[in-house]
């Protein structure tokens, strides 16, 4: 009987009929209805080998499922930790990449790949999807991407960051060994092996998933590659007349600063701030009041310093501060009516508007009632009830990444401390809802 020496086994093998037997290489049972050609080792009695499995090459190059690196054949034993085949998803694989963690069953490597959608981790977005279409693959380097990811912009600006972001194929190690990269939009941990958008500034460690960066509420749709960076035109909200007097852009008369205790002039607590539309006593601190005795125009000092133009975390376009006059507007963030100042989108034909209070919210947001930072991570309204007012349907929210705490913008913009003259303790502090003995 002819003995055969093959690279897949260290001993000489003899031809045999292995119908109904188990192949130790592909881990499949051969059919028993007819003769199945195979091999048997008489030295170690390890088991049967399919003829095509035993004659498999020890190394495959340019495999359709992993073109960039060679695959080497290895035999796994039961005691080894289980791996998962990157082709069929079943555990245990015999072919593995010599460079990276790619692994594939011998039977999957030897059979021609079926031209049907399979789950892949796409290199451009890092997502594992069972999409309705096949990926686009580079045969030289093995990069796999969605069709829609082919047109990803190179250089963008998003609403969540002050600097421009550049598309990069991978991230460098994080600044600290104990830390990891997290997406600046969804706040999830990022895999540094896949393409992302990263800040172009040195020593600014900010990055975003490509899918998060190109969301419609984050990116304005413009590729800035080749477009020079414009200097920000800063318009001051008021002109300083002297150490107590200003001329605000929204009013024709001079405004005089009054201290919260009434020093420096008459402090009328019944007046309302023209910007936030709240009583002047709601916010503790100084106010500006019109020097014309027949004019009731009043501003909180905080509201008087509102910038004329802003980049807002929930809008990709720049916003401009406008006075509302007698018009009542509905804020697109908290859905409340407002008769004070609003920020409107600078883009033509865009009617987005946000009241001054909601526009002042930035992330990460610190709320007195909660120990963790809050972020706007979701593109849609939260399905969870607000932890403050307990309302189940809210427009936009800020969420805690460490627990289930959620706040709607109506609760977020409540002042932490107010003054109420009808109470024997005039200063009232906002509480988080916990019960305490009084």
- Tens digit of each residue's pLDDT (9 = 90 or more) over 24-52: 777 778 776 677 788 888 787 777 888 88
Confidence category of residue 254, pLDDT binned at 50, 70, 90: very high
Residues 240-245 have a mean pLDDT of 90
Dihedral sign of CA atoms 414, 418, 420, 425 in order: positive
* Per-residue model confidence as pLDDT tens digits over 369-399: 888 999 887 665 556 788 888 887 667 888 8
What is the C-alpha separation between 32 and 35, in angstroms, rounded?
A: 7
Residues 178-210 have pLDDT tens digits of 677 888 988 888 877 778 899 998 888 889 988
Q: 6-27 pLDDT, tens per residue? A: 877 788 888 888 888 888 777 7
Q: pLDDT class for 133, splitting at 50, 70, 90? A: low
State residue 81's pLDDT score: 44
What backbone torsions phi and psi does residue 356 show, to the nearest 5 degrees? -60, -35
According to the model, what pLDDT value does residue 305 have? 92
pLDDT tens per residue across span 74-94: 765 443 445 667 666 666 555
Closest CA to 96 of 58, 41, 127, 148: 58
Q: Which pLDDT does position 78 carry in this prediction?
A: 43
Query: Span 417-428, mean pLDDT?
Result: 62
* Res 17: pLDDT: 85
pLDDT, position 7: 77
The predicted structure's pLDDT at residue 354: 92
Does 241 score more than 70 pLDDT? yes
- 117 pLDDT band, cuts 50/70/90, is low
- Residues 360, 60: Cα–Cα separation, whole Å: 59
Region 151-157: mean pLDDT is: 88
Confidence of residue 130 (pLDDT cuts 50, 70, 90): low
The answer to whether the CB of 181 falls within 8 A of the CB of 207 is: yes
C-alpha span between 34 and 52 (Å, rounded): 17
Taking residues 389-412, report their average pLDDT. 83
The residue with greater pLDDT, 151 or 346, is: 346
Per-residue pLDDT tens over the stretch 284-336: 678 899 988 888 899 999 899 999 999 898 888 889 998 866 678 889 988 88
Task: Write down the mean pLDDT value for the chain.
Answer: 78
**In this predicted structure, what is the pLDDT of residue 16?**
84
The pLDDT value recorded for residue 105 is: 77
- Cis check for the bond before 256: say yes or no (omega within 30 of 0): no
pTM, rounded to two decimals? 0.64
């Amino acid at each position: 009987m002819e003995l055969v020496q093959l690279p897949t086994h260290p001993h000489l093998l003899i031809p045999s009929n292995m119908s109904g037997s188990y192949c130790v290489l592909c881990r499949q049972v051969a059919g028993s209805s007819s003769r199945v050609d195979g091999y048997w080792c008489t030295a170690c009695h390890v088991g049967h080998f399919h003829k095509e499995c035993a004659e498999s090459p020890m190394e495959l190059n340019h495999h359709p499922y992993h073109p960039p690196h060679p695959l080497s054949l290895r035999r796994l034993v039961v005691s080894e930790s289980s791996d998962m085949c990157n082709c069929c998803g079943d555990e245990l694989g015999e072919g593995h990449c010599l460079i990276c963690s790619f692994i594939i069953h011998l039977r999957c490597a030897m059979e021609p790949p079926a031209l049907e959608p399979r789950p892949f981790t796409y290199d451009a977005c890092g997502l594992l999807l069972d999409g309705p279409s096949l990926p686009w693959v580079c045969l030289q380097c093995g990069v796999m991407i969605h069709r829609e990811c082919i047109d990803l912009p190179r250089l963008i600006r998003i609403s969540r960051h002050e600097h421009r972001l550049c598309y990069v194929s991978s991230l460098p190690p994080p600044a600290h060994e104990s830390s990891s990269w997290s997406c600046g939009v969804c706040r999830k941990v990022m895999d540094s092996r896949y393409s992302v958008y990263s800040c172009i500034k040195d020593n600014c460690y900010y990055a975003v998933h490509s899918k998060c960066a190109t969301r419609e509420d984050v990116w304005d749709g413009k590729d800035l590659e080749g477009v020079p960076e414009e200097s920000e035109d800063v318009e001051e909200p008021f002109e300083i007349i002297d150490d107590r007097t200003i001329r605000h852009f929204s009013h024709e008369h001079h405004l005089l600063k009054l201290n919260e205790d009434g020093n420096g002039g008459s402090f009328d607590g019944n007046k309302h701030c023209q910007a936030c539309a709240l009583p002047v006593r709601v916010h503790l601190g100084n106010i500006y009041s019109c020097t014309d005795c027949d004019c009731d125009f009043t501003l909180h000092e905080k509201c008087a310093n509102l910038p004329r133009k802003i980049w807002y975390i929930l809008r990709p376009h720049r916003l401009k501060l406008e006075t509302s006059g007698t018009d009542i507007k509905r804020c697109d963030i908290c859905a409340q009516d407002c008769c004070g100042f609003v920020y409107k989108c600078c883009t033509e034909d865009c009617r987005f508007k946000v009241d001054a209070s909601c526009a002042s919210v930035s992330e990460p947001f610190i709320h007195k009632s909660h120990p963790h930072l809050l972020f706007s991570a979701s593109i849609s309204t939260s399905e969870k009830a607000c932890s403050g007012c307990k309302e189940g349907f809210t427009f936009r929210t800020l969420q805690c990444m460490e627990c289930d705490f959620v706040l709607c913008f109506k609760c977020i913009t409540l002042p932490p401390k107010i003054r109420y003259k009808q109470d024997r303790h005039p200063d009232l502090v906002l509480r988080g809802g916990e019960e305490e003995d009084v």
